Structure 1
Amino acid sequence: MAGNYFEFQFKIDPVQPASEILIAELGYLGFESFVENDDGITAYIPEEEYEDDILANVHILQSEDFKITYSQNEIERVNWNEEWEKNFTPILVDERCSVRAPFHEKLDVNFDIVIEPKMSFGTGHHATTHMMIQHILKNDWEGKSVLDMGCGTGVLAILAAMKGAKTIDAIDIDNWCYLNTLENISRNDCEHINVEEGGAELLEGREYDTILANINRNILLRDLPIYEKSLKANGDLFLSGFYEGDLPAIKKACEKAGLDFIENFERNDWVAAKFSR
């Protein structure tokens, strides 16, 4: 099982636009989650991604235009799990899909997904997950083979199953995500989803009609050749986990791999893009 998290509490004056810039810079370094506060942000990075000098190249910390101080401490994932469950509120995407916990009231929607997020990412609250749900709602999944890479809670795989996908692989390198996805597919009666723990190395010899990958810019660019090799003719690739400013680099890499840009959604400076072979 993966290790703990490091929590960084940043106090920022003035808060904007420094908070947005800081979140963008930290995202490149492997920070996985952010909470915006009245006086700054709280950021989390997995223990395995942490280095003692990790903030040395965060340029905004050296800026004279903002006063930024921070403190850090190590936290156990189990404690963060409790915070997730305590603060988790239901969401509604395009009036058609709800993502809620078991103790929330069911909404009158086409697709009702029930999850307990625990330490996994993908509740729908983050802009990237929200937009990937929008892509799934907009596109056809009937009878298709689907890969949800970096599945988090499994919410995208579950929605693809609800929309008629025939065979689905949900893969995540994090043990918490692997276990949580198993729980959530059972909770939503989607036991035909195959869940595996690991990375892109698992894709050797596999092919899919559609690939979903909501991870981060660096991993997407690194693993894009593997995704391309695993995509069937006329297949679709949906990517998120990167900022608007990263879209040109993502487009260029996809074009080099023989994939055509179709469209993208934008939300809070984040992007979710569709590419097709």
Structure 2
Amino acid sequence: MSDIVYIEYRFTVKPKEPASDILIAELGEAGFESFVEEEDDVLAYIQKTDWSSDILDDIYILGNSNFEITYQYKEIAQENWNATWEQNFQPIIVDDVCMIRAPFHEKIQVDYDIVIEPKMSFGTGHHETTHMMLQHILQLDVENKTVLDMGSGTGVLAILAGMRGATNIDAIDIDNWCYLNAKENVARNNMDFISVYEGDVTLLKDKKYDLIIANINRNILLADLPSYAKCLNKGGVLLLSGFYTEDLEMISQKCTELELKFEKNLERNNWVAAKYVN
């Protein structure tokens, strides 16, 4: 995969919030794979093969007069990605018990030490949605449970579930780079019992889980919720994130139609991570 070339966009965003979150969400739907947030800038990456010169034409926030957003872009070879994210990726600690760090960060004493080399994959724990999903998992009893991490990115959520005692875990992502990266991170954290797959919701046929984790985006969640409901065991838990506060009612209504009961949600900077039970 050394011949893969990415396009790096550098967006300068003023004011930063909430514009940067909206921008990242829109870019994600347009096909951008990974993001790095700096003090004033947002870096966004997309494979050159998925890029076109008009890719930003439908990014609504770029035309919003409430924000000043300028940008420039350049090609970046995949092998240069590590140098880019090492300059920006800082370790995080979730609820004082879970640390997400890179291999070059110093280990400290926590209950759950997760080593992630994200490369071009989403899921370092820095984004609000990943952070809240980690919090949800920390609050659940997953001992000996079957778990699905849908849209797994780096595999960080599946890895935490494994560290907390889940014994049968599937991690699925449609992106080949995420699939390969998750396999690396699963091995790096000695979670070899986690099965990593490349694909989409069609892989769920005849599968059953006690816990389903899906941190994707609103439209994909709405489309795939019926499949999640079919796969969720009675008494099982569904964790959903990747959408905004204003989308919660729409997501919950769909879950209600599928006989999934809303239990609670977490919020960070207008992002939501909601818990439903079967």
Q: TM-score, normalised by structure 1?
A: 0.89
Instruction: Note closer, same or farther for the CA distance 1:42–1:276 as it changes in structure 2 (3 Å cut).
Output: same
2:245 counterpart residue number = 244
CA distance in 1, matches of 2:256, 2:167: 28
- RMSD over aligned Cα atoms: 2.4
Q: Residue 165 of structure 1: SS of its match in structure 2?
A: coil
SS of the counterpart of 1:136? Answer: helix
Amino acid at match of 2:94: V
Structure 1 residue runs of 5 or longer lacking an equivalent are none
Residue of structure 2 in register with 1:69 after alignment: 70
Partner residue of 2:151? 150
Which TM-score applies when normalising by structure 2? 0.88
1:1-277 aligned within 5 A? 4-12=5-13, 18-37=19-38, 39-47=40-48, 50-277=51-278
1-side partners of 2:69 and 2:47: how far apart? 22
Alpha-carbon shift at residue 249 of structure 1 (Å): 1.5
The Cα shift of 1:121 comes to 1.4
Alpha-carbon distance in structure 1 between the residues aligned to 2:242 and 2:42: 19
Q: Structure 1's 67 and 190: CA in aligned 2 closer, same or farther, altered over 3 A?
A: closer
Determine helix, strand or coil for the equivalent of 1:55.
coil
| CA shift for structure 1 position 176 | 1.7
**Residue type of the partner of 2:266?**
F
Query: Residues 47 and 213 (structure 1 numbering): CA distance in 2 closer, same or farther, change over 3 Å?
Result: farther
Quick one: which amino acid aligns to residue 162 of structure 1?
M
User: Would you say how many aligned residue pairs link Structure 1 and Structure 2?
Assistant: 277
**Shift of the alpha carbon at 1:97?**
0.5
Go from structure 1 to structure 2 and tell me whether the alpha carbon gap of 1:168 and 1:105 turns closer, same or farther (over 3 Å shift).
Answer: same
Shift in Å, 1:96: 0.6
Identity of aligned residues (%): 59
Residue 130 of structure 1 deviates from its aligned partner by 0.8
Residues of 1 paired with 2:65 and 2:92: CA distance?
39
* Distance in 1 of aligned mates of 2:214 and 2:54: 29
Unmatched 5+ residue regions in structure 2? none
Aligned partner of residue 108 in structure 1, secondary structure: coil
